[in-house]
Amino acid sequence: MIEVELPAVLQAGACTCAECKDACMRKPGWFLPQQIEPLAEAMRLTVQELFNRHLQVDWFENLPPDHDVVYVLSPRLLSERGGAMFPGDPTGECAWYNGGRCAVHKLGKPAECQMLGHPFIKGRHPAVARAWLPFQGWIAELLGRQPEMSEYKPPRALFRDSLVRRLIGGT
């Protein structure tokens, strides 16, 4: 297993700053592969139960040098169900963001969340994605099929498409 070491200082703190809260409301951070089993154990769930109830598959595109897409595990969006792929616009509040705090902070919040606000960690998104490279088969097994990323449509494009459908008589 590939290990990405996290400095102990990342585990500290109450995560109540505006930067952390804003991040929780924009998009859940990504776990490292070695965080999943301990979190499932801490929650008294199997890994599959944790995935089905609380996690989703997200992706990172164009990871250098030659990986088109790398799939990763993340807390589910509040508006989505667990055990599924992230939607085409993977933004929204983390399902574990509750009352201005992370509900899994002490159990093992995602590595990316732990890294947030620490300026000495550059490139956390690609680093976490790279750690998932050997685990693409495991993600497919949890999902029950090969993962597929959705086409991203920014809100303006969604509005435009909706307007065009109404103008031409569609729904």
In this prediction, residues 30-36 reach a mean pLDDT of 95
Residue 113 lies in a domain: yes
How many residues are there in the chain? Answer: 171
| 3-state class (DSSP) for residue 93 | coil
Write out the residue range of the structural domain in which residue 126 sits: 8-167
> Whose structure tokens read 């680093």?
127
Nearest alpha carbon to residue 105 among 28, 12, 37, 5: 12
pLDDT at 14 over 70: no
The pLDDT tens digits for 90-135 are 788 999 998 888 888 888 889 988 887 665 556 778 889 999 999 9
- Looking at residue 121, its pLDDT comes to 58
2 in a structural domain? no
Quote the number of domains for the chain. 1
